[in-house]
Amino acid sequence: MPDDAWDIIMKVHVRAPFRLIRAAPPFTRIKAEPGNPPENRSIINVSSTSGLHGNVGQANYAAAKSAIVGFTKTIAREWGAFGVRANTVAFGYILTR
């Protein structure tokens, strides 16, 4: 796989979510007032079963989606104190018939 194929997938699937979440703290990381529960805030990232298990011919995509899982776990740990939940949804092919 050429470098540009690797780089474009990383830009779309890792850098873009990072930039969006990096802009979120003024709206999400707000301390609750004493005696009042924090507002319900959450971040939902999209991964793939390729990021969890790998997939033949998709090293770049699998690595990017795996990075999203780690990124989301880090956000959950860092922002949990501010009442922000962070979750990842890992979609995949499901044979239904």
Is 93 marked active-site? no
Backbone phi, then psi, for 41, in 5-degree steps? -125, 140
Q: Give CA–CA dist 6/9, Å, rounded.
A: 6
The gap from C-alpha 14 to its chain's centroid, in whole angstroms, comes to: 8
Length of the chain: 97
Catalytic-labelled residue, pool 48, 61, 79, 84 = 61
Q: Name every residue whose Cβ is closer than 8 Å to that of residue 50 and which is 6 or more positions away in sequence.
A: 58, 61, 62, 65, 92
Question: Residues with catalytic annotation?
Answer: 61
